[in-house]
Amino acid sequence: MQLTSHRAPQLGRLPKHPIPYSSEAMRQDLQRVRNAWTQCQARRDRNAIYGYLDAIYGLVAWWTADGP
């Protein structure tokens, strides 16, 4: 797996082309991450964190793919 770094936008500046994203879709995405965190905490297994990290990585990858 190859990770690439992207320059982060400067604080206080909005992107030139904002991503059209509904608040309901955002709520659903964040709920999936919350559920992954709850499952991670419930398992009490040292490897459980990988399910949570996978949810975070998937969400960021999705948002990045939708970017301008």
**pLDDT, tens digit (0-9, with 9 covering 90-100), for 4-28:** 544 444 445 545 555 556 788 888 9
pTM over 0.75: no
Domain membership of residue 5 (yes or no) is no
Report the distance separating Cα 53 and Cα 58, nearest Å.
8
pLDDT at residue 17 in the model: 52
For the segment 45-54, what is each residue's pLDDT rounded down to a tens digit? 889 999 999 9
Domain membership of residue 49 (yes or no) is yes
Domain membership of residue 35 (yes or no) is yes
Cα three-residue angle 25-27-31, rounded to 5 degrees: 120
Domain membership of residue 32 (yes or no) is yes
pLDDT at residue 65 in the model: 81
Domain membership of residue 36 (yes or no) is yes
* Burial call 4-22: b when 16+ CB within 10 Å, e when fewer: eeeeeeeeeeeeeeeeeee
Domain that holds residue 51: 23-65
Domain membership of residue 27 (yes or no) is yes
pLDDT at residue 62 in the model: 85
Domain membership of residue 31 (yes or no) is yes
